[in-house]
Every structure is written in structure tokens, then in C-alpha cells.
Amino acid sequence: MRNNRDNAFIRKFRNIWADNGDAVSYHYTGTGSTHTDITRDGRRGMLGNIKHKYKTVTRFYNQNFWDFYKMKIVNELLGNPNTIQKPEVTRILEESQQEFIAF
């Protein structure tokens, strides 16, 4: 009987830990944790691999196209308006923008 209670506790603890990891990860990266399935189940299946790759691509996109604007707003609110530079990818795209839209 004790073993069943221990297993139920461990399952609940893992789920709470994974939910917390998702919340913290979402706050910092804009996506859930890439290791939630491993935390919950102790393994990663095919669907877990697909989710991991999707989250990785989403993080790359967020980091290169959205984080700059979020940090700019935070710095404006804190009174430090010009403390960060644009990410390299955004700078390159802006520099070559005319090349793609010129008629």
C-alpha cells in the first residue's frame, strides 16, 4: 500500500515540477519547457521529439524578432531607453529590406 502512495506522490510531484518548468520557461523564452515530457514520463517519444523541435524553432524566432521589442519596452519603463542593440538577424534584414521590395 505504501508503494502505491509513493508512486502517486511521485507522479503528482513530477507533474507539478513540469508545470512549474513550463511556466518559468514560457516567461523567459515564450515557449514551454523543451523537457516537459521527460520530467513527466522519464522518457521522450516521437511526439516529444516533434514538440522539442517546434519549441526550439519558436524560441529562435522569438529571440531574433520579438525579444528586442520586449526589452526595449522594459528599458523604456525603467528609464534606460537606449541600452540594447538590435539582434544581428534583425539588423541584417533591415539593411537588405530594399533589395527585396524594390521594383
How buried is 70 (Cβ within 10 angstroms: 0-12 exposed, 13-18 middle, 19+ buried)? exposed
pLDDT at site 53: 92
pLDDT at site 86: 67
pLDDT along the chain (103 residues), means of 10: 71 92 86 88 88 90 80 80 69 79 68
DSSP 8-state class, residue 42: S
Helices (H), 30-45: 36-41
pLDDT at site 3: 62
pLDDT at site 90: 73
pLDDT at site 84: 64
pTM of the model: 0.58
